[in-house]
Amino acid sequence: MATDSIEVLLAGWREAERSWEGSTPGEDARAAAGRVLDAWVAYQDVALTAQHGEFLLVADNDQTYVAATGGVLAVLGYKPAEMVGGRITDFASPELKNATPSQWAAFLAAGRQDGRFSLRTKDGRSIPLNFQARAHHPIAGFHVSRLWPDPGDAAGVRV
């Protein structure tokens, strides 16, 4: 059952983390990690302020998106499920595709990266976004990026 209660969503996230912490390596741990990601994204979807065009993308070690918050729809035009399973380079602006693998390696080595990155919208436009990325968050082996349009870029939010 869906809920908007921050407290309920936070409790669900923590319960999923406890399950992940007690899981055995392999498929059991991967499934438990998926439940943590689902609970974390549900919490973030309620906690984020959509009016600022902010959204989160979570990628695995292979640079494949495994989760996205609902704000991605207003900014890029994709439903979250449309991004899941795609690789970062599938959505990167064409001029960034060649540099993305080395930028990814630098990000994982540093554990953090902040800056600007352009993504393609569903209708094919490229828009510059500010981002803050953190490795191994919200759970080990997964990496979150918080993205938002530049407030001066009127084309950034599709509301």
CATH topology of domain 52-159: Beta-Lactamase (3.30.450)
User: pLDDT exceeding 70 applies to what percent of the chain?
Assistant: 90
What pLDDT digit, counting tens, does each position of 9-61 carry? Answer: 777 777 877 777 777 777 677 788 888 888 888 888 888 766 668 999 999 99
User: Has residue 120 got a pLDDT over 70?
Assistant: yes
Give the pTM: 0.83
What pLDDT digit, counting tens, does each position of 127-141 carry? Answer: 999 999 999 998 889
Cα separation, 59 vs 136, in Å, equals: 10
Q: Where are the domains of the chain?
A: 1-47, 52-159
What does 130-144 look like in DSSP terms, one character per residue?
EEEEETT-SSTTEEE
The beta strands (E) that lie in 11-77 are given as: 55-60, 65-68
